Amino acid sequence: MSVPPNYIQTSKSRGSFFNNPANRALIYQFLLLMGLGYFFYIIISNTMSNMEARGIKSGISFLGETAGFDILMSLIPYDSTHTYGKTFIVGLLNTLLVSVIGIFLATIIGFIMGVAHFSRNWLISKSSTVFIETFRNIPLLLQVFFWYFAVLSSLPSARQSLSIGEAFFLNVRGLYLPHLAGDEGSVVVYGAVFIAITSIIALHRFAKIQQEKTGKQLPVLRLSLAILIVLPLFATLIMGTPFHWELPVLKGFNYQGGTTIIPELIALSLALSIYTGAFIAEAVRAGVQSVPHGQTEAARSIGMNEKQIMKLIIVPQAMRVISPLLNSEYQSLVKNSTLATAIGYPDLFTVFVGTTLNQTGQAIEIVFMTMAVYFAINMFISVLMNLFDKKVSLITR
């Protein structure tokens, strides 16, 4: 057996050291590391000396100090004797609140408007286009201002409130809703709701297994609705309606009792959900358009009706396009919720980067903590949406 001649050169005979790409890459990276290290060294040493010169403290010990300022709205008990650390939590909860409201409403608005684009009704399809193109192309901050300064501040005062049936009141100070307060025994009803939800999930699993085994479809939607309504209703009746309504009542200059939604929250969630809703509508439009027309024709030719075509052919395929877009829209909604600071809604940004920073002067810690929070929220959304994405994405071999 003859040994083949060695055509492939070994690395020893490769010529000069610098002509080896691996060596060059090492050198470049080394230089990059040096440059970066020098850059950070300069920045950190400058910052240290600047902070010393200005007498700014460092570290996060300020979180334990008394804040001494009030916050307009708080989901947990808070007053000015609490700490800066507590202001962080209050702000964070308010940010989460407005983000959840915004994402919820924006999704509804977006899907309705996106589907309306394909309506066979000319008026509706054109209205959806006008809606999308108007709100997508106007700066969000302007929309926040418009709702806050032009619409909500022109509402009547408390005594002339707009009202629906003496239960809902809308005036310049906010929206007043009746509050459903639970009495003794309401826990049972909450428990019933929980059981209803878990059994619906179990039902879905069961129905899927049944369909795969026998090919028979259970009326899942109707059954779930029935469970969701009957079980809590039954519990309510057994416990003798353990609820009562707390209605807002005009006392002095304003309404007391019930749930109050401050105008800042209304303006911000309206603006966020309409602005993002317009983008989601555009995403939905793109998603539905991405499904080739042949798919609809093929579905029709095997005898599917319009509802089946929508549910089984178009939506699953459109979701593949919509889902990643939805992910980035949700993330930008959370980031845009920082605009709260322009109208004074006490979100994390207003409370923490605004007031707390002003009082303590610890810019670096505060700005980085806030950035980390938004980063974390967005990571969380991203992880959730990626799970969803995996569910709807094309399963290939």
Rule CB under 8 A: which residues touch other proteins? 25, 28-29, 32-33, 36, 43, 46-47, 49-51, 53, 119-124, 127, 133-134, 136-142, 145-146, 149-150, 153-154, 292-293, 331, 334-336, 338-339, 341-342, 349, 353, 357, 363-364, 367, 370-371, 374-375, 378-379
**Identity of the residue, 6 or 121, whose beta carbon is nearer to other proteins in the bound complex:** 121
Q: How far is the CB of 353 from other proteins (least distance, A)?
A: 6
In 3D space, the residue among 309, 286, 272 whose CA is nearest the CA of residue 115 turns out to be: 286
**Identity of the residue, 149 or 190, whose beta carbon is nearer to other proteins in the bound complex:** 149
DSSP 257: S
Helical H runs in the chain?
21-54, 84-116, 122-136, 140-145, 186-214, 220-238, 263-290, 293-301, 306-308, 315-336, 340-343, 348, 357-360, 363-392
Dmax of the chain from CA atoms?
107
The pair phi, psi for residue 132, each rounded to 5°, is -60, -50
Q: How far is the CB of 362 from other proteins (least distance, A)?
A: 10
Q: How far is the CB of 363 from other proteins (least distance, A)?
A: 4
Q: How far is the CB of 68 from other proteins (least distance, A)?
A: 21
**Identity of the residue, 131 or 176, whose beta carbon is nearer to other proteins in the bound complex:** 131
The per-residue DSSP string of 62-126 comes to GGGSB-----S--SS---TTSBHHHHHHHHHHHHHHHHHHHHHHHHHHHHHHHHHTT-S-HHHHH
Q: How far is the CB of 128 from other proteins (least distance, A)?
A: 11
**Identity of the residue, 80 or 125, whose beta carbon is nearer to other proteins in the bound complex:** 125
**Identity of the residue, 79 or 297, whose beta carbon is nearer to other proteins in the bound complex:** 297
